[in-house]
Every structure is written in structure tokens, then in C-alpha cells.
Amino acid sequence: MTWTPAKWYVLVHGLQPIACALPHVHACVPACLRAYVQAALLSCLVHTEKGDDEAPPLREELSGPYRALQDAARRIAQVSQDCKIEIDVEEYVQSFRSEMMELVFAWVNGAKFIDICAMTKQFEGSIIRVIRRLEELARQL
């Protein structure tokens, strides 16, 4: 199946009831966010590759939700520590990487793949992998 931005939009909108039902997801992905912002935010959950790229500055529409995601991750890590689970809070927070947010935002808004590739130094395969993982995440939810 080919995933177009329109199909992704429909898929993400289908996640909104689930986001409201799961408090930890709701804190990170509130239903009031537009679908393309939700998709960009979810890219932080699936992008795990460490690279030399510094995250590009995020537009205001993305920076607020990303800060909320970091705050939620910090709370989860602190509760884990309170429960005697060894975890480095800042390392856990930093594991939610924002490098792909702008790219996913552009893709869901209809940008061509070649234009998305020009936005980053990430390899094309890494971009494709993130988009596929987003699809898998959406299907699992």
C-alpha cells in the first residue's frame, strides 16, 4: 500500500480517541493538535538513530508540543526513579529526538521526497525508516 499524506492524515485522526483514552499518550499527543503536528510529534517516538545532525530549530507550531513531550518524558523518568528503577532522567528525555519532526511535518503537508531529503543530512533510508515506523506505530495503536 502506498502512503500518501492524505492517508496519513486519516490514520492520525483515527488515533485521537485512543490518545484521549491513554493518559500518558494524551499528555504527549493531545487530540487538539492538527494531524500533521501529531505525526511530527510521533516521529520522536520512532526515530532512534543517533547521528551527527543537530536538530534544526523547530517552528513554533512544533516546539510547544515537543516541549510538552519532553516534560512528560521527564515526569515518567522521575516516577520511575521514585519506584527504584535506575534511569538517567536527562538521557531518557534526550532519547526523544526531534531531528525528523520538520521532515515529517513537511511530508504530511505534501512535500516531495526530494525536497524532504534536501532539508537534512540524514540518509534517505533513515527518512524512509522513520516514515515506515510511523505507519507501524499508527497501526498498532
What pLDDT does residue 112 have?
Answer: 95
Q: Which domains does the chain have, with CATH numbers?
A: 5-48+55-140 (1.10.3380.30)
Alpha-carbon distance of 130 to 117, in angstroms, equals 13
What pLDDT, on a 0 to 100 scale, did the predictor assign at position 20?
A: 39
Residues 75-96 pLDDT 10s: 888 888 888 888 899 998 888 8
Q: How far, in Å, CA of 130 to CA of 102, rounded?
A: 12
- In a 13 Å sphere around the CA of 109, the CA atoms on its Cβ side amount to 13
Structural contact between residues 42 and 29, judged by C-beta atoms closer than 8 angstroms = yes
Which cell is 46 given?
Answer: 520512532
Q: Which of 17-31, 43-57, 60-74 has the lowest mean pLDDT?
A: 17-31
Residue 17 is predicted with a pLDDT of 37
Closest CA to 38 of 140, 137, 114, 117: 137
Q: Tell me what the mean pLDDT of segment 61-85 comes to.
A: 88
Q: Which residue has the higher pLDDT, 71 or 14?
A: 71
What band does 35 get if pLDDT is binned at 50, 70 and 90?
Answer: confident
| pLDDT single digits (tens) 45-58 | 888 887 666 777 89
